Structure 1
């Protein structure tokens, strides 16, 4: 099976004309995947920054992480930074993390509690409502009006008890992007409202963010790519495994394998869990909420690009507040951090290297009536969303 040729850019730095942003319609119809260039070209990466990441909802934290006045969390969106803070009035607000005086970043902390944000350069001071409260020596400036120099707000929403921000004031609400999704999420995550952060791990990955996302949304590799994936496959009844695109969100759900008595090397007797099955909810472009079988925790999985061929992968683990973690849950988190996660990351890195090969131009999707539970249909769906976004259109 052969498809249309696509020139390789050996540096990823060359300028592009309109044709370089295309994914040939004939190749798409023939089942060929997004061309390799989309995974390393700098110009495409810059288009993704502006047309995808600066216009999409980004997962920041669980709402319970902002449990009192002054509690804040920051999020970096490539070269942008946002502060999300609960004000003295209890309202959650988000602002660009930058002083209005000379552009100094206000804080580098991921989390904290503060009644005000004080710029470390010239001590301009902002309240948790974003208002400029103090600016030394500005009384010497005729007509200086503090009300004109408050922090610049960023859109913020709470969806399924998680906080999201969006740099685009015109973006549609998450509930319009993902109608019906929260009801489905809650059916698999009964303790969603009472979660608290157990652990957060950031891992640098030498791969394009789309490579990481692709790997996470197909079940084809589970029984072939390494011992840890085979371990996960033993917990899932693949006859009932389903991957479903829903426009700008998607799910992949697998029921538990009958007769399972242990998971992650630990007996199930006496354990509690969110669900005995495998549930994943993905929101365009890069956020995933998931539950692994028999684990009493909800995970977040977020890949953020740091360059054309580098990303940061953030793993968040949340458990029900006030309930001790079972040994199964502890074993699951260890297994994710020490075994399954590293195995996936190795696949991400070797795939990124291969995408640079002169022997590779594009792949072919495994999609067909006989492979529903192993299908790469979500990969194809995701590729279409990416291609449409950087070509100036939206929708599924």
Structure 2
């Protein structure tokens, strides 16, 4: 077993196993997986929020949820509470879901509608553009200017009917991050689906375990035997792009049409934690959120084309839940294995795990950039030092 020395980097002073060796990106055929400590050391979590999640685009919902002025959607992005709202001019705006008085929430539901944004703590009110409008019982407060206390805005963009936000400085425009997806799935049109429901899963594994699991079909025969009857696993292909990857499979033809119908299944992953499961007449968005050491939450939003039969939706939801329960069981077992003294780093199947390697390479790049941006980096691995 290799002996490792934890690295003290930057003001955190607590980053484990971040060395030139572990940050180096080798070709798939020669690469090791990331160290087990990246999944198990609780001290890495706050650094990941800052270095990995803040500069990334995160999907928060569909435009159908903010169709009218005053409609809003709430989300947690990079650990931050966010509210997205459509204003009176029809524009979609995003703000921190935080009142500028003493940090109270403007909304506490996943989504809803309002005429103005009002703090649920002390009643300060804001216009749908974020300007402070009403300040109860503040007449005697001196040197107070409402203009200084507008809501803090967040970058927001829309792609194919999906609303995305970024709480930091976006590494790239959203259109660049998602380049090529809409053309690849044509003639399917994601703008034509409507939100149906959300299912949330609490999973006792690090968020990266769940992402790794999503990114390969290697485990399908053992973990998902029923899914293997639906997908043509022999034609399962993984493709990688700059900031996203695709797992693609034809859907098996069955006499009754099966739970997925006829066509193709597109499983897209957008770095670092967003999944787009695009199937005939439907869309699932899965967002994997860190939830403390060794835990994550997975938010499944289900969207369907108009006219989808209720029994078809019910069957789809039940099948999806069965698959997720299988994934949860294996991911939680993997988390226990990663914490064992019997494991440190593994290798990749060139045939089956290109998506996992691609994700871990992007993760290494984000972590290396984060070290350089926080003060006291190690020697930069080749190809990873920021320009």
Asked if the contact 1:306/1:312 (under 8 Å) is kept, the reply is yes
Question: Is 1:365 the equivalent of 2:348?
Answer: yes
Deviation of 1:25 after TM superposition, in Å, equals: 6.9
Q: Residue in 2 aligned with 1:38?
A: 38
Q: Residue in 2 aligned with 1:288?
A: 275
Normalising by structure 2, report the TM-score: 0.87
RMSD: 2.5
Distance 1:35 1:232, change over 3 A: same
Q: State the alpha-carbon separation in 2 of the partners of residues 361 and 296 from structure 1.
A: 42
Q: Residue in 2 aligned with 1:155?
A: 155
Q: Residue in 2 aligned with 1:260?
A: 254
Q: State the alpha-carbon separation in 1 of the partners of residues 20 and 41 from structure 2.
A: 13
Q: State the alpha-carbon separation in 2 of the partners of residues 82 and 379 from structure 1.
A: 29
Q: State the alpha-carbon separation in 2 of the partners of residues 22 and 313 from structure 1.
A: 32
Q: State the alpha-carbon separation in 1 of the partners of residues 303 and 246 from structure 2.
A: 20
Question: Is 1:388 the equivalent of 2:383?
Answer: no
What SS class does the counterpart of residue 151 from structure 1 fall into?
Answer: coil
Normalising by structure 1, report the TM-score: 0.85
What SS class does the counterpart of residue 138 from structure 1 fall into?
Answer: coil
Asked if the contact 2:195/2:301 (under 8 Å) is kept, the reply is yes
- Deviation readout 1:172-230 (Å, 9 max, x if unpaired): 2111223222222444x33x2121111101111111111101111101111122xxx12
> After superposition, where does 1:35-114 map in structure 2 within 5 Å?
35-114=35-114
Report which structure shows greater RCO (CA 8 Å, sep ≥6). 2
- How many positions carry a matched residue from both structures? 366
Q: Unaligned regions of 5+ residues in structure 1, if any?
A: none
Q: State the alpha-carbon separation in 2 of the partners of residues 77 and 381 from structure 1.
A: 23
Deviation of 1:55 after TM superposition, in Å, equals: 1.4
Q: Residue in 1 aligned with 2:115?
A: 115
Q: Residue in 2 aligned with 1:312?
A: 297
Q: State the alpha-carbon separation in 1 of the partners of residues 257 and 296 from structure 2.
A: 30
Q: Residue in 2 aligned with 1:355?
A: 338
Distance 1:16 1:28, change over 3 A: farther
Distance 1:54 1:62, change over 3 A: same
Q: Unaligned regions of 5+ residues in structure 2, if any?
A: 370-383
- Deviation readout 1:227-269 (Å, 9 max, x if unpaired): xx12111222233221011011111111133x422465x6x8x
Deviation of 1:124 after TM superposition, in Å, equals: 1.0
Asked if the contact 1:21/1:44 (under 8 Å) is kept, the reply is no
Q: State the alpha-carbon separation in 1 of the partners of residues 25 and 103 from structure 2.
A: 46
What SS class does the counterpart of residue 252 from structure 1 fall into?
Answer: strand
Deviation of 1:394 after TM superposition, in Å, equals: 8.8
Q: State the alpha-carbon separation in 1 of the partners of residues 109 and 25 from structure 2.
A: 46
What SS class does the counterpart of residue 83 from structure 1 fall into?
Answer: strand
Q: Residue in 1 aligned with 2:241?
A: 246
Q: Residue in 1 aligned with 2:146?
A: 146
Q: Residue in 1 aligned with 2:308?
A: 324
